[in-house]
C-alpha cells in the first residue's frame, strides 16, 4: 500500500498515511469551501504523527464534534477528525508532500456539506 508524507507549510506539523488515494471528497460547507480542502478518509492504524503536537491547533464550531487540526505557526489545515466519522482521520490531500493530484487524478466526489443533515448518509 502506498505511503505518503504530509506536512503544513512550515513543516512543524508532519504525519504520514498509508492509503490508496483513488477518491477524494470536496465539501461545500462553510469551512471546507473556504479552505479548499480535498478530503481522504484514513483509519487510525494507517495514520501516524511524525511531529509532536506542540504546534497542532484544533478548531471546532457548531456541534463541536469535528476537530479541524491546523499548524499554529503557519496556519495550514492538515487533517480533521470528522463529525460524520470521528474514529477516522480525513487528510487534506493538498498537504501530502509526495502526492501529485494532477498526475494521480483521483475521482472527486462532491458532498453537500451546506446541507449536512440531509446529505451525511451519502458519505458511505
DSSP SS3 for 53: coil
- Measured distance CA(25)–CA(52) in Å, rounded: 28
**Cα(30)–Cα(93) distance, integer angstroms:** 19
Closest among 117, 118, 80, 106 to 25, alpha carbons compared: 106
Q: Which residue has the cell 506539523?
A: 13
**Residue (of 36, 52, 91, 48) closest to 69 by Cα position:** 91
pLDDT at 116 over 80: no
**Which CATH fold topology does 3-122 show?**
2.170.150
SS percent in the chain: helix, strand, coil, step 5: 20, 35, 40
> Where residue 124 falls among pLDDT bands split at 50, 70, 90?
low
DSSP, collapsed to helix, strand or coil, labels residue 35 as helix
9 three-state secondary structure: coil
How does pLDDT run across 62-87, given as a tens digit for each residue?
Answer: 999 999 999 999 999 999 999 888 99
Looking at per-residue confidence, does 109 or 91 come out higher? 91
For the chain, give every domain's residue range.
3-122
Amino acid at each position: 500500500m502506498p505511503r505518503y508524507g504530509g506536512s503544513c507549510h512550515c513543516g512543524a506539523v508532519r504525519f504520514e498515511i498509508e492509503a490508496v488515494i483513488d477518491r477524494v471528497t470536496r465539501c461545500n460547507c462553510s469551512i471546507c469551501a473556504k479552505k479548499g480542502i480535498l478530503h481522504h478518509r484514513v483509519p487510525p492504524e494507517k495514520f501516524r504523527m511524525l511531529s509532536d503536537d506542540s504546534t497542532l491547533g484544533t478548531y471546532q464550531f457548531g456541534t463541536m464534534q469535528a476537530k479541524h487540526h491546523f499548524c499554529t505557526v503557519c496556519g495550514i489545515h492538515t487533517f480533521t477528525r470528522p463529525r460524520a466519522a470521528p474514529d477516522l482521520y480525513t487528510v487534506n490531500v493538498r498537504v501530502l508532500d509526495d502526492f501529485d493530484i494532477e498526475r494521480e487524478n483521483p475521482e472527486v466526489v462532491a458532498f453537500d456539506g451546506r446541507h449536512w443533515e440531509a446529505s451525511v448518509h451519502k458519505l458511505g
